[in-house]
Amino acid sequence: MEAGLVSHYVRDYERHVSTLLKMYPPDEAMALAVGGRYEAVGQIELDILRHAGLREGMALADIGCGSGRLASALSKSGMEVDYLGTDIVQELLDYAAQNSSSAYKFKLHQELTIPAPDETLDMICAFSVLIHLNHHETFLYMKDMCRALKPGGKLVFSFFEFAEESHWEIFEQTAITYRYKTLPALNAFIERPVIELWSQKLGFDPPVFIAATEAVKGSQPLGQAVAIVAKP
Ligand SMILES: C[S@@+](CC[C@H](N)C(=O)[O-])C[C@H]1O[C@@H](n2cnc3c(N)ncnc32)[C@H](O)[C@@H]1O
């Protein structure tokens, strides 16, 4: 991409990762870059995908896979999945590849599109990714996710919402760091009626939600709300 046309999310996340790598040992920096609790959160994300219907042999795209929290948990689980991880920062992808199955594919991709042909994916997930985008950017992503999913395929993504009391602190903290220009990356909120509207406009089925404090069977709460949206 030409200088001057770099998207806010690429500029912010590249800077965030490079700052962390200067401040911490590599493993710590790579865990902090995706929000920490590397193994625990990876396992919760996998539990959510299983709950949403992820099964052996499926084609899964993990958008904004970061340093591989999910890829690493999925590898350890032994479930064989045709996995593609995308991200906008090469250092994160390299770390994810080192920590997961050699059969997994990783791709640097900085556009709001899914690098897969039409109707080829069974599931697409985006954990803690759309929180870093504006609404119109998320809508464009969802539109292309719909294109890449097979009929019956599912999109699973996490989000912050004002209805969740524990998310208020994140909003307030974001506002303060924004004022002092120390915000590492945007923290956007999306409300459920907005996700319902986008799903309807894009031809998805009505979304099913998991609250931020709710755990799927045998797991722990993620801390962000989750939407599961099926393509009819
Ligand atoms: C909080 S981390 C979460 C990483 C991973 N999904 C997880 O749960 O461990 C956010 C990730 O989103 C990536 N990201 C930010 N904007 C993105 C975009 N527009 N497309 C794809 N990835 C993006 C960042 O580089 C970062 O790896």
Q: Which domains does the chain have, with CATH numbers?
A: 8-230 (3.40.50.150)
Distance (Å) from CA 90 to ligand 1 centroid: 12
So what's the pLDDT on residue 66?
Answer: 98
Task: Tell me if 221 CB under 6 Å of ligand 1.
Answer: no
So what's the pLDDT on residue 182?
Answer: 75
Q: Whose CA is nearest to atom 13 of ligand 1?
A: 64
Coarse DSSP helix, strand, coil percentages of the chain, rounded to the nearest 5 percent: 45, 20, 40
User: How many alpha carbons fall within 13 Å on the CB side of residue 226?
Assistant: 24
- Tell me the average pLDDT across 130-152: 97
Task: Tell me if 167 CB under 6 Å of ligand 1.
Answer: no
Radius of gyration of the chain (CA): 17
Instruction: Tell which residue, 107, 146, 112, 117, has the closest CA to residue 129.
Output: 112
- Tell me the average pLDDT across 120-140: 97
Q: Whose CA is nearest to atom 10 of ligand 1?
A: 129
* Dihedral sign computed on CA atoms, order 186, 169, 141, 194: negative
Task: Tell me if 63 CB under 6 Å of ligand 1.
Answer: yes
Task: Tell me if 87 CB under 6 Å of ligand 1.
Answer: yes
Distance (Å) from CA 87 to ligand 1 centroid: 6
Task: Tell me if 132 CB under 6 Å of ligand 1.
Answer: yes
Single pTM value for the model: 0.96
Is pLDDT larger for residue 125 or for residue 173? Answer: 125
Q: What is the pLDDT of residues 23-68, one digit of tens each?
A: 999 999 999 999 999 999 999 999 999 999 999 999 999 999 999 9
Closest approach atom of ligand 1 to CA 66:
27
Task: Tell me if 91 CB under 6 Å of ligand 1.
Answer: no
Q: What is the pLDDT of residues 68-124, one digit of tens each?
A: 999 999 999 999 999 999 999 999 999 999 999 999 999 999 999 999 999 999 999
Distance (Å) from CA 131 to ligand 1 centroid: 9
Task: Tell me if 49 CB under 6 Å of ligand 1.
Answer: no
Distance CA 113, CA 97 (A): 21
What SS3 state is found at 122?
A: strand
